[in-house]
Amino acid sequence: MLCASPLHALCLPPCSVHPPHVVCLTLCSVHPPPVLCASPFHALCLPHALCLSPCSNLNRESPNGSLLGLSVKKKKKKEVTILLPCHGDIHNNVSMQLCTHLSMVFLFFHRGLIASSFTETHYLQDGTDVSLARNYTVILGHCYYHGHVRGYSDSAVSLSTCSGLRGLIMFENETYVLEPMKNATNRYKLFPAKNLKSIWGSCGSHHNTSSLTADNVFPPPSQTWARRHKRETLKATKYVELVIVADNREFQRQGKDLEKVKQRLIEIANHVDKFYRPLNIRVVLVGVEVWNDIDKCSVSQDPFTSLHEFLDWRKMKLLPLPLLPRKSHDNAQLVSGVYFQGTIIGMAPIMSMCTAEQSGGIVMDHSDSPLGAAVTLAHELGHNFGMNHDTLERGCSCQMAAEKGGCIMNPSTGYPFPMVFSSCSRKDLETSLEKGMGMCLFNLPEVRESFGGQKCGNGFVEDGEQCDCGEPEECMNRCCNATACTLKPDAVCAHGLCCEDCQLKPAGTACRDSSNSCDLPEFCTGASPHCPANVYLHDGHPCQGVDGYCYNGICQTHEQQCVTLWGPGAKPAPGICFERVNSAGDPYGNCGKVSKSSFAKCEMRDAKCGKIQCQGGASRPVIGTNAVSIETNIPLQEGGRILCRGTHVYLGDDMPDPGLVLTGTKCADGKICLNRRCQNISVFGVHECTVQCHGRGVCNNRKNCHCEAHWAPPFCDKFGFGGSTDSGPIRQAEARQEAAELQQGAWPGPGARGIAGACVFCLTDTHL
């Protein structure tokens, strides 16, 4: 019975079979397991490479295997110890049986975890950074898995075999942890997640944030647009290109073992991606960095200061620059070995995803298991997505009971760890996406070279494949031959928003509408089944008439923020209110925090970038019971007084004050709020970019012209079909006829007649 078949099961009989302190793990060499495993036992079926000895060899080794199991009762909590020699190759699929549920757990290699552009960075003794593009398929083998338990739609499995066996088996009301034992080679333990030891902590919020959902950040859009855009944004898969950084203290806590730290960071990302999959969000790791020599920014026990230092470092050193390219990514998280003050274990700005200034967070590695940091990172990433804390007042629905972990966006966490998102988190996310947050999330990262190697049936279209709809038994795509990953006869495409009935949609067909006044629509090119990546107006472009400027694809104004805080009828107060109130440098009037407990005074020129001052609207703030009105009467020289209305919201330190003017808000003609300062929009270079469009188009965030309907990119100086080189052509109706007439000099074109030989926008392989 030793390793006689590709799959083996570890059957854990109940304690009544053996002495109460010992649980025997019996080897089942047939599949499905024998009757023994069909009773209320637990079973794990592992690949034959993990050869195990039968129960008769308990407490002694054998030539073909090793000690299987021993459980020691500790405070009425049992742990199963597994000894695995772990030799040989790992198969493409690992099956796992949980006989308690009479179900099979299917595990598949997590091929989408690591992008082909993945790099790892560490430092030499002289501080020189070393960035390597390593092939983890070769280095670590096929060792990261995701899966599920058959028959349990809410189940999930996330495992790693890179250095031993560890991971999670999650059910609706229970989660099990499998991990190596400390100071014991090839020994593992399987136990309920509620027994996992960790530090109880919070992400810095100790007050009610029940009403501070992303609904409150912007006024509601029109209902017609909201319904249409909601369907589009929620249907599309979002991709977060993530970088995880480990500070020097984390490096030391992991025994100064560079490879161990890197594997831990990748394992954290593996769990986080699993948590976000139900939200139609994929977390793709594009890089890890380890500060193995010294910290590259100040990391202290003050989480507020550490967060801002890290975000500044990310903006200045990690984000790609024209003359100093580093790492293209959407979000960066610092995993720290420093113990933060109080109970705080993480911190992140809210609704900041994709921004250069604030798309990131800090995470304290507070548990022996990577799961602890993974849950905290998922929580802080949730804040970046616009998710607020789950509180009793919000009435959130959570499928996991509180005593079994609850939901990820709980204000505080401990063991058992939460691993699912609540109804409130889903609503917050939907609302944030509808408002234009996350413009960078709609491009598909290149993952064809990632973990697991190439395989038809894995759901990823890889080199040499025309399509991939999964395994034959799960494929629902009528355009794709699942067994060969080739297109069926007469099919031109099988996947993508620009593929319909197995054929490419015509060039100019809208595939992604604009989501707000700062977004730009995308159109099918006629050459690809995929909708072009999302683009939007260049930062600093005017929006809503002359009331605002675009910033990260969103149009921010003082007026809409006043309406958000005070309801209909509210409007910005006169400038003197901003100047007087925000010069105080206290919690009620400031230009942001200097440290955890001190506030910056606003210079007069920056006053409109501090606490927002309004007039009119409701008698008290409409954003919730934890918001209070701060009213200031300012005497005027000509007599009388002016009433200034500010808002103070009782929040924790991990979330920005919603009473502060939002970054990107217009603070004067030609100026915008950045880092609590009123700065000239010339810093964005929008004018220089727009000039090249010849007055017939606008500049997008990639510094390319988006041309009006009858003008051709790249510079809108010749006749064509509109759009941009990034977003496809606008027009499709009479495109073929006009192209033919234009070549003959017959089409008059916009504003002129009889011009022959003009260029049209037409990709060489479009079907115009």
Give how far Cα 706 sits from Cα of 193, 194, 285, 452, 722, Å. Answer: 52, 54, 31, 40, 7
pLDDT-derived band at 143, boundaries 50, 70, 90: low
User: Rounded to 10 degrees, what is the CA torsion of 74, 78, 83, 84?
Assistant: -140
645-649 average pLDDT score: 86
Q: Per residue in 328-338, pLDDT tens?
A: 899 999 999 99
Cβ atoms within 10 Å, residue 397: 11
Q: Per residue in 612-630, pLDDT tens?
A: 999 999 888 887 666 788 8
Q: Return the pLDDT at 76.
A: 38
The residue among 55 and 341 whose pLDDT is bigger is 341
Q: How far apart are CA 33 and CA 199, in angstroms?
A: 39
Q: How many Å separate Cα 501 from the centre of its chain?
A: 32
337-353 average pLDDT score: 88
Nearest by Cα to 307 from 384, 366, 214, 407: 384
Q: Return the pLDDT at 235.
A: 65
pLDDT-derived band at 216, boundaries 50, 70, 90: very low
Average pLDDT over all residues of the chain = 74
Question: Coil, strand, or helix at residue 576?
Answer: helix
Angle of CA points 724, 728, 733, to nearest 5°: 115
Lowest mean pLDDT among 664-668, 715-719, 725-729, 753-757: 753-757
Taking a C-beta distance cutoff of 8 angstroms, is the pair 269, 263 a contact? no
Q: Per residue in 526-585, pLDDT tens?
A: 999 989 988 999 999 999 877 899 998 888 899 988 998 898 999 999 999 999 999 999
Q: Return the pLDDT at 149.
A: 60
Region of 744 on the Ramachandran plot (φ > 0 left; ψ -120 to 50 alpha; else beta): alpha
DSSP 130-185: EEE---HHHHH-S-EEEEEETT-TT-EEEEE-TTS-EEEEE-SS-EEEEEEPTT-T
Q: Return the pLDDT at 68.
A: 30
Q: Return the pLDDT at 545.
A: 77
Lowest mean pLDDT among 164-168, 192-196, 715-719: 192-196
Taking a C-beta distance cutoff of 8 angstroms, is the pair 720, 739 a contact? no
Q: How far apart are CA 419 and CA 400, in angstroms?
A: 8
In one-letter notation, the amino acid at residue 310 is F
pLDDT at 752 over 60: no
pLDDT at 260 over 80: yes
Of all residues in the chain, the percent with pLDDT exceeding 70 is 65
Q: How far apart are CA 552 and CA 663, in angstroms?
A: 10
pLDDT at 491 over 80: yes
458-470 average pLDDT score: 80
* Peptide linkage before 714 cis (omega within 30 of 0): yes
Q: Return the pLDDT at 144.
A: 65
Give how far Cα 738 sits from Cα of 504, 525, 603, 748, Å. Answer: 21, 17, 58, 10
* Peptide linkage before 489 cis (omega within 30 of 0): no
Q: Return the pLDDT at 671.
A: 95
Binding residues: 379, 383, 389
User: Rounded to 10 degrees, what is the CA torsion of 753, 759, 761, 766?
Assistant: 120
Lowest mean pLDDT among 62-66, 174-178, 630-634: 62-66
Residues ≥6 apart with Cβ < 8 Å to 544: 517, 555, 557
pLDDT at 41 over 80: no
Structure tokens at 20: 């109460």
Q: Return the pLDDT at 298.
A: 93
* Peptide linkage before 416 cis (omega within 30 of 0): yes
319-340 average pLDDT score: 83
Residues paired with residue 707 on neighbouring β-strands, in sequence order: 697, 723
Lowest mean pLDDT among 17-31, 475-489, 579-593: 17-31
Binding residues for Zn(2+): 379, 383, 389
pLDDT at 377 over 50: yes
The residue among 755 and 289 whose pLDDT is bigger is 289
Q: Return the pLDDT at 308.
A: 87
Structure tokens at 305: 């200061």
Residue that is written with structure tokens 């249409």 in the block: 228
Q: Which residues of 565-669 form beta strands (DSSP E)? A: 571-572, 614-615, 627-635, 641-649, 666-668
Q: Per residue in 295-307, pLDDT tens?
A: 999 999 988 889 9
The residue among 700 and 395 whose pLDDT is bigger is 700
Q: Return the pLDDT at 592.
A: 86
* CATH class of the domain comprising 195-207+238-442: alpha beta
* Residues recognised as catalytic: 380
Taking a C-beta distance cutoff of 8 angstroms, is the pair 422, 411 a contact? no
Domain residue limits, the chain: 7-108+145-193, 195-207+238-442, 542-684
Q: Per residue in 383-441, pLDDT tens?
A: 999 898 888 778 899 988 887 788 999 887 777 788 899 999 999 998 888 777 888 88
Q: How far apart are CA 529 and CA 480, in angstroms?
A: 14
How many Cα atoms within 13 Å fall on the side-chain side of residue 345? Answer: 22
Residues ≥6 apart with Cβ < 8 Å to 743: none
If you compute the radius of gyration of the chain from its CA atoms, what whole number of angstroms results?
29
pLDDT at 459 over 90: no
pLDDT-derived band at 455, boundaries 50, 70, 90: confident
Residues paired with residue 711 on neighbouring β-strands, in sequence order: 719
The residue among 453 and 466 whose pLDDT is bigger is 466
The residue among 745 and 275 whose pLDDT is bigger is 275
Q: How far apart are CA 613 and CA 631, in angstroms?
A: 9
